[in-house]
Amino acid sequence: MGNSSVVDMTKGDVTKHLLRFTVPLLIGNLIQQCYNIVDSIIVGQVVGSKALGAVGSVGNIMFIFFALCTGLAAGVGIIVSQHFGAENYEKVKLTITNSIYVVGGTGILMSVLAVVLAPQILSWMNTPADNYQYALDYMRITGAATIVVAFYNGISAILRALGDSKTPLIFLVVASILNVVLDLAFVMGMDMGVEGAALATAISQCVAALGSVVVAVWKNPFFRFRLNHFAIDKELVNDIFGLGIPVAGQNALISLSCILLQSVVNGYGTMVMAAYTATSKVEQLVHQPFNSLGQACSTFAGQNAGAGQVERVIEGNRKAMQIMSIFTLIMIVFFMIFGNLIIGLFVEEAEIIAIGATGLRIASVLHIALGIIYVSRGTLNGLGDARYALINGVCEVLGRVVFIAILTNIPLLGFWSVWLTNGFTWILAGATGYIRFKQGKWKAFNFVRKKEVVL
């Protein structure tokens, strides 16, 4: 089906497909993280370091509530990409309509739970009294907006599965600019504190979601439906849950492991909390090239799996690893040189800057393992390897629990153990993903075709 908003990755140069798909995603993800960082800078500089620490601790909690929505969206994307690769266009449309029921209903449920459970969760996390009210206000507003996050992730996953990484970029840019403007208006101009920052983010996400839907319906032929496309297809719904729930479980387990680690960070006091939040915000930027490349791998692998092109999937994984390695080396040098300047953007206290900059340098040396996680995970998710998704999540939980238990009992390490724990966990999870792909078990079954692949 020829259309400028649809890209067939089963033909043509592998590296060019990966880069052309990754670059718009990367730009969008970086812009999104930039406005998240601006949000943190404004909160840290205007409201204070206690508010900044609270916002950082809530981020990991909210990721759990987002996890089921984003996991189901990923499941939708996998199914769409594989049906597209198999040239089963009617199934593509049916998957899109059925995803509305699944992702939308889940988003509403998660919104309600996040608002209702906020006080109890913050209590479980040992949130310091100085940070508690900031964290509660921020969590309730961002939690209520989970439905918006669900719809945006759903529409973005579908568009990416069809090879369109540009439309989500356009609306991320619009939303990012709006978020900064609203941050300045609500937090600085109207003195609304963390509530203003949360509200600015929620409104911006709503604009991105609605805009993406409108353009998709307008430009993409797969969003032109007949009445019969809105029938509930039980097999597709089961497939969405079958692929989405393991990915959601993976995301939730990863987030849970980060929350457990955050509770250890909280125990070191407000200065370490602020430093860890600042480094986490910077590392979110580092994650974006890896995440974008991983999403490109997922779409590439999904389409080629649907077309039965096994060797092309292997070539795509190899090329992605090469691209990732080059970026990692560049970032190590960058953080070694500019670590203090970067952390200084978030806070003014010299001691916090020193802690954060050192933590950032520790982590940067181990970012190669983080890159391997994203490339392997993206490829295996695109292939429909649902079992691996849970294996990956379990590895991250075990890694953070075991390593932090060991490292915090080494007196010389102290609070540096939290940064080392992240790095060692990346090594464990990265090695698991790399081995899983190399084992080649994914070759034996093609999700869409429901039959053995001839190798």
Q: Are 40 and 59 in contact (CB under 8 A)?
A: no
* Position 87 confidence tier, pLDDT thresholds 50, 70, 90: confident
In this prediction, residue 427 carries a pLDDT of 93
Q: Is residue 323 part of a domain?
A: yes
CA–CA separation, 218 and 115 (whole Å): 35
Per-residue burial over 275-300, b = 16 or more CB atoms within 10 Å of its CB, e = otherwise: bbbbbbbbbbbbbbbbbbbbbbbbbb
Q: Are 422 and 373 in contact (CB under 8 A)?
A: no
The yes-or-no verdict on residue 432 having pLDDT over 90 is yes
Q: Is residue 212 part of a domain?
A: yes
Tokens standing for 170?
């356009």
Greater confidence (324 vs 66) lies with: 324
Per-residue burial over 143-152, b = 16 or more CB atoms within 10 Å of its CB, e = otherwise: bbbbbbbbbb
Q: Is residue 453 part of a domain?
A: no
Q: Are 303 and 82 in contact (CB under 8 A)?
A: yes
In this prediction, residue 372 carries a pLDDT of 93
Three-state DSSP class for 370? helix
Mean pLDDT to the nearest integer, 47-71 = 74
Q: Is residue 450 part of a domain?
A: no
Please name the residues in contact with 450: beta carbons below 8 A apart, sequence gap of 6 or more: none
Q: Is residue 306 part of a domain?
A: yes
Per-residue burial over 109-132, b = 16 or more CB atoms within 10 Å of its CB, e = otherwise: bbbebbbeebeebbeebebbebbb
In this prediction, residue 369 carries a pLDDT of 92
Q: Is residue 282 part of a domain?
A: yes
- In DSSP notation, 284-296 reads HHHHHHHHHHHHH
Structure pTM? 0.73
Owner of token pair 């990012």: 176
Owner of token pair 């600015």: 200
Burial of 406 (0-12, 13-18, 19+ CB in 10 A): middle
Element (H, E) at 265: helix 234-266
Tokens standing for 44?
């840290």
In this prediction, residue 455 carries a pLDDT of 26
Owner of token pair 């089961």: 238
- Summarised one tens digit per residue, pLDDT across range 374-417 is 999 889 888 878 778 788 888 888 888 899 889 888 888 888 88
What is the tally of structural domains in the chain?
1
CA-to-CA separations, 300 to 11, 280, 320, 450, in angstroms, rounded: 10, 29, 11, 19
Mean pLDDT to the nearest integer, 118-140 = 79
Q: Are 289 and 23 in contact (CB under 8 A)?
A: no
The yes-or-no verdict on residue 212 having pLDDT over 80 is yes
Structural domain span for residue 312: 17-444
Q: Is residue 455 part of a domain?
A: no
Q: Is residue 169 part of a domain?
A: yes
